[in-house]
Structure 1
């Protein structure tokens, strides 16, 4: 049995690519190229999609307004999960979208595999009855949004790879605890990374470059000589 999804996206080529990719994993993607068509589809009698993939930039209406209308609707339509596609590096759109009720967001361009993982995560949370609100780890001016997989410092987006994000979350969720390289690699196992201690050091250096005010004198991720790394609980 396939899981129905609705994609409201004016880029037909992208929609076709996403539909073909998700189709391999048991999803049936129905595509609408405009906000008007997408909202009309949601208002039709009968079955609703399990999730809406909603582009922010549509030719006839802002995606944020579409999200607002979905959440303001009556009945089941208001509860349909929404995954919003936003412009890369625009945290304001992300924040507004989440405040309007989007369940997750993904910046363009994106990897289809990450889109699939986010869709599954949203649907899993819904099926388990768990809240879909964003889980944000806050340390001073540093925000780590685990659901949206984004990091900001004083509101400015930080560019991290998927693996570096996972490393950062691993440390932040255990703030104050010293973790060895082996413990860190075990916590994020399953990702593609060569299993050498020094590879962790390289990634930590890049994470520091993204989130530290002075990467050469880090205050957030501290090296404990001979033991590993610790994420500082108290920050700016």
Structure 2
């Protein structure tokens, strides 16, 4: 990690932006604040940051749309992003994670917690998860390690990097139960139990994508209080 990682903060409420800027600066980061999506795009083009913090409710463009546009810029797909939202609706959190965001935090929030999450995300991004073996040929889940793509019953899935990591890990050992701590350690490469809910949210969006291919099947089993496993008795492709 650089001595002072550059953090792009896109927030139109000046009081919140000032608080974030102060918290990041005093914790060793270099914050760059923008009040609009267009300013953020211009700043991102000038120099992609180590991480971007995006407010969902911006005056000129929805934060989700800004996320998509930043992803299409040079280097955009390598930059981890975190959403800020004033809404508590689950749908906002799910949409953000489905897009591939690394995390989200709802307003009002603790500046200390925000900085802690930024540090965790940067540590995760700096590490490469250990390669897991490809899924057995008999399974309807085909993992292409080189292209980082997964097919389910022959259908390519549009997965975020963490959804890909979870399904790849589960498919490597069908029937084997992975705890939330294991998924955090192996997929996110961080064992902090503070992010259990992030695992659950990604499992939920992953299930929805699998069900879109085969609505009658529920390939991911939940063992309450334990973790998740890929079903061993899925019908052959």
What TM-score does the superposition give when structure 1 sets the normalisation length? 0.56
Look up the match of 2:36. Answer: 34
CA contact (8 A) 1:71 1:101 kept: no
SS at match of 2:75: helix
Look up the match of 1:72. Answer: 72
Look up the match of 1:58. Answer: 58
Look up the match of 1:133. Answer: 162
Post-superposition shift, 1:48? Answer: 2.0
Look up the match of 2:219. Answer: none
Distance 2:226 2:16 in 1: 42
The 1:17/1:149 distance shift into structure 2, 3 A limit, reads farther
Post-superposition shift, 1:8? Answer: 0.5
CA contact (8 A) 2:10 2:55 kept: yes
Post-superposition shift, 1:6? Answer: 0.6
Distance 1:40 1:28 in 2: 17
Look up the match of 2:17. Answer: 15
If asked which structure has higher relative contact order (CA below 8 Å, sep 6+), I would say 2
Distance 1:13 1:57 in 2: 15
Q: Which runs of 5+ in 1 are unaligned?
A: 139-143, 156-174, 177-219, 221-230
Instruction: Establish whether residue 112 from structure 1 lines up as the match of residue 114 from structure 2.
Output: no
The 1:10/1:129 distance shift into structure 2, 3 A limit, reads same
Post-superposition shift, 1:80? Answer: 1.0
Post-superposition shift, 1:87? Answer: 2.5
Distance 1:67 1:7 in 2: 12
Distance 1:85 1:97 in 2: 10
SS at match of 1:5: strand
SS at match of 1:52: strand
CA contact (8 A) 1:68 1:101 kept: no
CA contact (8 A) 2:83 2:105 kept: yes
CA contact (8 A) 1:9 1:33 kept: yes
- Among 192, 196, 208, the alignment partner of 1:146 is 196
The 1:5/1:233 distance shift into structure 2, 3 A limit, reads closer
Q: Root-mean-square deviation (CA), in Å?
A: 3.3
Post-superposition shift, 1:36? Answer: 0.7
What TM-score does the superposition give when structure 2 sets the normalisation length? 0.56
- Among 1, 4, 23, the alignment partner of 1:2 is 4
Look up the match of 1:182. Answer: none
CA contact (8 A) 1:54 1:84 kept: yes
Distance 2:227 2:7 in 1: 41
CA contact (8 A) 2:83 2:103 kept: yes
Distance 2:108 2:81 in 1: 18
Look up the match of 1:48. Answer: 48
Larger Rg: 1
Q: Which runs of 5+ in 2 are unaligned?
A: 130-159, 168-178, 181-193, 206-221, 229-237
The 1:232/1:51 distance shift into structure 2, 3 A limit, reads closer
The 1:147/1:23 distance shift into structure 2, 3 A limit, reads farther
